[in-house]
Structure 1
């Protein structure tokens, strides 16, 4: 059991069990295989069970939506040739931040990916 409290909401969660960290890790890990569908289903089923799982599901969906917006902007900029470079950089950044999120979640710590727009609160 990990004792944590690094969330934006100081009352969100105090203790995180190994089961909670595993489920939260699966939310982030499934993004490599199912994009949004797998994490969305797990979050929808398990969000009532744990504040930590709920927060990580929200963090993932906010990350997904934010970086989808950035990808669309980069795709539009392909016509100016800078978009190709931006798409390449974004693809690397998405993988790296997802791996970092998995590491944080396995430690029982809240992780919000940089440059993520908080759409789902």
Structure 2
């Protein structure tokens, strides 16, 4: 196994593709993780953290849909989740660059 800090940083930042393509922020990190997890040191840990974050945020988005009927609380939820989608990948890319462990708050561990 070799160390490739840049690929791990790129994997975190690739989540921001959602703002451009809509779904690329899930597919690209998933592909990078699936293909390179056994070749790059620490990529498996970071990839799992990314996927857990993405799945958890999708569940939270689904929960916001019915909350729209209750005084528009779902819109507030969408706003908060949008901020999470923008901030946490950048923070974790910085953490990965500093060779720290990933930290995505509010994530449910699936993997």
| Structure 2 Cα separation of the partners of residues 110 and 97 of structure 1 | 13
C-alpha offsets along residues 13-72 of structure 1, whole Å, 9 cap, x if unaligned?
xxx84xx21111111111111211111111111100134011100000000001111111
The runs of 5 or more residues in structure 2 that have no matched partner are 18-23
- Select the structure that is richer in helix: 2
SS at match of 1:38: helix
Instruction: Indicate yes or no: 2:109 matched with 1:118.
Output: yes
Residue 8 of structure 1 is matched in structure 2 by none
- The 5 Å alignment of 1:87-102 reads 87-102=78-93
Report how many aligned residue pairs link the two structures.
103
Q: Mind listing any 5+ residue stretches in structure 1 that lack a counterpart? A: 1-15
1:84 maps to which residue?
A: 75
- Root-mean-square deviation (CA, aligned residues, Å) is 1.3
Q: Which residue of 2 aligns with 1:29?
A: 13
Tell me the equivalent position of 1:10: none
Structure 1 segments, 4+ long, off by >2 Å, are: none
TM-score, normalising length from structure 2?
0.86
Q: Matched residues in 2 for 1:24 and 1:92: separation?
A: 22
